Chains A and B, each alone.
Chain A
């Protein structure tokens, strides 16, 4: 009897989550319809945002680009550092350092994003010139790092660095937990074969922890994709696709919604919701890809070991 009640309760909770997801999706689609109907631009390729003009003319190209590039750059910076920190805490640091470092990282993961945004705007941005100029001077042959206007503030690159710092503790804390779960017997197996500590990590720890690290990375990516306020503070909103990420330019889905919402007319609101719908779909697809990657390695996952 108690079992049946509990079964039904958990089933109900599961169904509720699915219904909630579907309801959010349906709400976004419903509210986005007017914008899709009246738009005279191409929703996917237009790099303008005039939904309240008559006729409305707007598209998400610049938003999609800005969201993707800032998240990708943030991941490139954050993931190696996060995994390195997790490995250091798990396998190199003395117990005292490991405990306090772990605690600090957990605290950092809980800091609200507005704080990171303010810090990025007030502190980090003032000290980024050196790095971005160096990137321009020495790696300027790569279009990504070229800066043709000589102004280095309010750029996608700075937003990416702030995003990276913001998601780093999340990825690191989760990776650390995953690495701690690697059975001692696997670690000893590699050590007994004559592995150094680093070889032990490569042979036993990382392969075993990979699915968990991928999940942690995807959680971080999800936060980076949807981060609103920190990005909105830093970027100087511009509706163009600009590959020179150290120039002041760029915009993201979430930042654009936050900045435009209060001044938007009826179609403007609908257009913002339409862009939110795209962000929703992107996040879903990213998570599905991560699941697929994890599932593909299932046979070798160690779940049965």
Chain B
């Protein structure tokens, strides 16, 4: 189920502006890869290029390849809608559908693609996904209540349940805990640990301790300068990046000298 991702010579443009340049990165299945770097360095843009969500901005396009288990998701005959069905995403701010109940939020993705729900009872999927997101015990008695009535941390776990209900091959997380309090953050981090048994996880974070705690691999992005495109400076095992990085910029960022 979990698949690997290989990014090869990826450039990302917004119209004339080159936002990201020359990214090469291998993302292993059933592992957590953290993207770190200062604001505006393009790490979220790279993340969003993995499910082609950056394309919702008019004029956005890419050069290079993103391979999902060897298949280029930017091949001309590939529909981004199908890619997004395979690659789940969790956003910075919890965004459950406000007009839907907790139950309907979890099954929202299944209702889009009926084939994924074939032969399964929706009730079972809801329970399994909410258990998978460590939320079941807290909401099992109020599944018909609006999802927007939960606390911020619960909403974010509901969004994770919604993302994993469709059993994606990859789970992208864009600063999933940055809008949450420390206890909710811890709950999300624990969850990431559990989810990596089944999913390939890519997580963008501003919080370096978080990257150190949850990830197996770390990729450090930086800007070459103001107005320049963002670049992948270096990547490697989290342990190595945090103790003996090759690049000076990485060391400066990790030790808190800038960013």
Residues of A within 8 A of B (CB): 95, 183, 185-196, 199, 203-204, 207-208, 210, 297, 299-305
Distance of A95 Cα from B57 Cα, bound (Å): 12
From known contacts A192-B88, A194-B166, infer whether A302 and B58 are also in contact, taking CB-CB under 8 Å: no
From known contacts A194-B112, A195-B112, infer whether A305 and B96 are also in contact, taking CB-CB under 8 Å: yes
Min CB distance A252 to B, Å, is 37
Asked whether B112 lies within 8 Å of A199 as measured between CB atoms, the reply is yes
Q: What are the 10 A-B residue pairs with the smallest beta carbon separation, nearest first?
A: A194-B85, A302-B98, A305-B98, A207-B99, A192-B89, A193-B109, A185-B95, A194-B84, A305-B148, A189-B95
- Chain B 21-51 interface mask (CB, 8 Å, partner A; 1/0): 0000000000000000000000000000001
From known contacts A188-B56, A300-B146, infer whether A194 and B82 are also in contact, taking CB-CB under 8 Å: yes
B95 partner residues in chain A, CB cutoff 8 A: 183, 185-186, 188-189, 305
The closest CB in chain B to the CB of A305 belongs to B98
Contacting B166 at CB < 8 Å: which of A190, A193, A196, A208? Answer: A193
A185 partner residues in chain B, CB cutoff 8 A: 91, 93, 95
A204 partner residues in chain B, CB cutoff 8 A: 97
A187 partner residues in chain B, CB cutoff 8 A: 56
The closest CB in chain A to the CB of B105 belongs to A189
Contacting B98 at CB < 8 Å: which of A193, A195, A199, A208? Answer: A208
Contacting A189 at CB < 8 Å: which of B82, B97, B101? Answer: B97
Distance of A207 Cα from B101 Cα, bound (Å): 12
From known contacts A186-B95, A193-B109, A194-B113, infer whether A300 and B100 are also in contact, taking CB-CB under 8 Å: yes
Residue pairs across A and B with Cβ atoms less than 8 A apart, 12 shown, are A186-B97, A191-B53, A191-B84, A192-B51, A192-B91, A193-B88, A193-B109, A194-B113, A195-B84, A199-B112, A302-B148, A304-B149
A208 partner residues in chain B, CB cutoff 8 A: 98-99
Contacting B159 at CB < 8 Å: which of A189, A191, A297? Answer: A189
Min CB distance A240 to B, Å, is 45
Asked whether A203 lies within 8 Å of B97 as measured between CB atoms, the reply is yes
Asked whether B56 lies within 8 Å of A193 as measured between CB atoms, the reply is no
Asked whether A193 lies within 8 Å of B112 as measured between CB atoms, the reply is yes
Asked whether B84 lies within 8 Å of A207 as measured between CB atoms, the reply is no
Min CB distance B92 to A, Å, is 8
Further contacts, 9 of them, CB under 8 A, given A189-B159, A192-B88: A186-B98, A188-B56, A188-B95, A189-B96, A191-B84, A193-B85, A207-B97, A304-B148, A304-B149
A305 partner residues in chain B, CB cutoff 8 A: 95-96, 98, 148
Where chain A touches its partner, the secondary structure class is helix
Residues of B within 8 A of A (CB): 51, 53, 56, 58, 81-86, 88-89, 91, 93, 95-101, 108-109, 112-113, 146, 148-149, 159, 162-163, 166
Number of A-B residue pairs at CB separation under 8 A: 87
Min CB distance B202 to A, Å, is 13
Distance of A190 Cα from B99 Cα, bound (Å): 13
B149 partner residues in chain A, CB cutoff 8 A: 299, 304
Distance of A207 Cα from B96 Cα, bound (Å): 13
Asked whether B56 lies within 8 Å of A191 as measured between CB atoms, the reply is yes
Distance of A299 Cα from B145 Cα, bound (Å): 9
The closest CB in chain B to the CB of A208 belongs to B99
Asked whether B100 lies within 8 Å of A299 as measured between CB atoms, the reply is no
Asked whether A189 lies within 8 Å of B98 as measured between CB atoms, the reply is no
Asked whether A196 lies within 8 Å of B81 as measured between CB atoms, the reply is yes
Distance of A175 Cα from B85 Cα, bound (Å): 30
B146 partner residues in chain A, CB cutoff 8 A: 299-300
Distance of A182 Cα from B159 Cα, bound (Å): 18
From known contacts A207-B100, A302-B98, A305-B148, infer whether A192 and B53 are also in contact, taking CB-CB under 8 Å: yes
A196 partner residues in chain B, CB cutoff 8 A: 81
The closest CB in chain B to the CB of A183 belongs to B95
Min CB distance A88 to B, Å, is 16
Distance of A199 Cα from B162 Cα, bound (Å): 16
Asked whether B53 lies within 8 Å of A195 as measured between CB atoms, the reply is no
A210 partner residues in chain B, CB cutoff 8 A: 99
B162 partner residues in chain A, CB cutoff 8 A: 189, 193
Distance of A210 Cα from B148 Cα, bound (Å): 17
Distance of A297 Cα from B99 Cα, bound (Å): 8
From known contacts A207-B100, A208-B98, A208-B99, infer whether A193 and B148 are also in contact, taking CB-CB under 8 Å: no
Asked whether A190 lies within 8 Å of B51 as measured between CB atoms, the reply is no
Asked whether B99 lies within 8 Å of A301 as measured between CB atoms, the reply is yes
A95 partner residues in chain B, CB cutoff 8 A: 58
A304 partner residues in chain B, CB cutoff 8 A: 98, 148-149
Q: Which of B53, B81, B100 is the most central at the interface, judged by chain A CB atoms within 10 Å of its CB? A: B81
Distance of A78 Cα from B115 Cα, bound (Å): 36
A188 partner residues in chain B, CB cutoff 8 A: 53, 56, 91, 95
The closest CB in chain A to the CB of B55 belongs to A191
B99 partner residues in chain A, CB cutoff 8 A: 207-208, 210, 297, 300-302
